[in-house]
Structure 1
Amino acid sequence: MTRLRSAWESLELTNAPAEGPVAFGDDLRPQNLLGAYRRGLYPFPTESVEQRFLNEMLYEPEVATGRVLVLPGSRDPYSVAWCSPDPRPLILVEQVRVQRSLRRQLRNASRWTTTADACFERVVAQCREGRSERWLTDDLVAGLCRLHQLGYAHSVEVWEDGTLVGGTFGVRVGAVFSADSQFTLRSGAGKTAVVDLVRRFAEAGGTAVDVQQDGEHVRLLGARPVPRARYVELLRAPHRGTALSTATLPAGRLAD
C-alpha cells in the first residue's frame, strides 16, 4: 500500500483523553485504518443515530478545545469514534498464560486444530454475529477485509473436526499485533485462538499482542497495562519479522 500523508500525523496523544474517544471521523478506508493502527488507535463505529447524537453532545466541549480531534473531510464524523486507552493492555509474547482449566481442556482436545488466515472474512462475520450494538459495521468490515488482502490484517481459527468453533482477528503493525475481537462457539475456543495467535506471532518475531480493552478475562491470559506512550514507542520501533505461519497445527501443543 502506497504511503501517503495521513490525517493521523497531526494527532498528538500527549494530552488526549485516557478513556473514551481521542478523535472522530468516518473514514474507514484501508489506508486510514492502517494509519490509525500505526499511531495506536482503533475504530469504534456505531450504526445508531442516537449514539451519534450522544457522541456529539458528550464530546463537543473537548472537540472545541482541541483535546479531541475531528478528522477533516468527514461527512458524518460522530459515527466513528477512534480510541487509544491509556494505559493499554498488552500480552508480551513471552508472558502469555494458559489457565490450568484451559490447559486440561487442550490436552484432551484431540479433535481441535488451529490455522491462520484460513477464512478471515468468516472469522470477522462470526465476531459480529448476534450483537445488537454492532461496532463491526459493513464499512469497517470492508476496510478490514481489504487490509487482509494487502497482508496487514490476519485471523486465527480453531477447528473441531473441520468445523469452525472459535477465532480471533486483528491488524499487525511491526512488532505489535492489535487483536480486535474474538468469538467462541465451543467453551475455551476463543481463548485458544488468542493463545495460538500469541504463539504464532512470537515465532514470527512479534513482541506483544494488544488486546485493546482491559478486563479480568484478558488479565487471565497474561495481559498487563502499559502506558500509552510506551505502546506507541513499540509501534514505531524498527522491526524485521517474518510472515505469520498459516500451518494447520494441533491445538494440544498450546498446553505445553
Structure 2
Amino acid sequence: MTVLDLRLVLQGYATGIFPMAESRDSEDLFWVEPRERAILPLQRFHVSRSLARRMRSGQFTVTRDRDFAGVLEGCADRPETWINPPIANAMTDLHRLGRAHSIEVWEGGALVGGVYGVRLGRAFFGESMFSRTRDASKVALAWLVARLRAGGFTLLDCQFITDHLASLGAEVVSRDDYVALLSAAVGVSVTGASSAGSSADGSAAAVPREGDFAALEALLDAAGVAGEDGPSGKFITQFLTQTS
C-alpha cells in the first residue's frame, strides 16, 4: 500500500497541490492543482436566517478534535469517495502531529456532522465535510470559520466549488490569485522557497505567524459561554454576523 510522506504532503499544500485518489479502493494517488480554486473569504461567510436559528437553538453540541477518526470516517462514508487508506492514514498522522483538525457536530450524543482539514501557517485547507442531519455540516463550517477568524487565519481553502459552499459565501479565484493568497498565508512561494527574505525596500520581510486554532476558547471563556452548545451557539452567531 502506498505510504504518503508527511513532509511531502505539507510541502504540497504549501505550494498549492493536494493528494487525491480515484476511489476508496484505489491503490494509486495523484496530485491535484486546479486551474481555479474555491476559497471561502473568512469575513464574508454567509449566515442565513435559518442557519442562525439552528445555531442558536441548542440542538447541536460542537467540539473540536474530539473525534477526528469519526469525522474522517463520516466524510468517506459515501458511494464515491477520494479518501482511500493512504490518504486516511496520512490525515490521521497529521492529526497526531497537530497539523490536521476536525470540528464535530453532535446531536443527542451521536456524531451527525463535521469537517476536517490541514493547518499550515495562517492557512486552513478544508478537506471534506459531512452531514447526517439537516444543517449539521453548515454548523460545522460556521464554527470552523469562527475559529479561524479568532485565531488570525487568512485563508480557508475549499479546493472545489459546490452549490452548498457557494451558498455560504465561497467563491472561485484564479490559480495566480490563489497562489498569492497562499504565499501570504504560509510564507512559501509556489516553488517551495521561503518567501521570507528582503522586501522591495531591502528590509527583512516578515514570516507569517502561525494561526492559533485554539484561540476561540479564550473568546468563549471571556463571554462566559465556555460550553460548546446553547449559549455558545448564540455567541458564535453574533461573532460571525457582527464582524462580517
Candidates 140, 143, 146, aligned match of 1:199: 146
Q: Structure 1 runs of 4+ off > 4 angstroms?
A: none
CA contact (8 A) 1:91 1:208 kept: yes
**Hey, what does 1:239 align to over in structure 2?**
208
Is 1:255 aligned to 2:237, yes or no?
A: yes
Q: Superposition pairs for residues 74-223 of structure 1, below 5 Å?
A: 79-108=28-57, 110-129=58-77, 131-223=78-170
Question: Cα RMSD (Å) of the superposition?
Answer: 2.1
Q: Superposition pairs for residues 62-81 of structure 1, below 5 Å?
A: 79-81=28-30
CA distance in 2, matches of 1:47, 1:154: 23
Identity %: 34
Offset from partner CA, 1:78-100 (integer Å, 9 cap, x none) = x2222122221111111111122
Task: Please tell me the residue identity of whatever aligns with 1:197.
Answer: L
**Hey, what does 1:40 align to over in structure 2?**
16
CA distance in 1, matches of 2:24, 2:211: 40
TM-score, normalised relative to structure 1:
0.72
Structure 1 residues not aligned, in runs of 5+ = 1-25, 53-75
Offset from partner CA, 1:118-149 (integer Å, 9 cap, x none) = 111111011111x2333111111001111111
TM-score, normalised relative to structure 2:
0.76
Matched residue SS, 2:80: coil
Task: Please tell me the residue identity of whatever aligns with 1:104.
Answer: R
Task: Please tell me the residue identity of whatever aligns with 1:214.
Answer: I
Structure 2 residues not aligned, in runs of 5+ = 185-206, 218-226, 239-244
Number of residues of Structure 1 aligned to a counterpart in Structure 2? 202
**Hey, what does 1:12 align to over in structure 2?**
none
Matched residue SS, 1:122: helix
Task: Please tell me the residue identity of whatever aligns with 1:99.
Answer: S
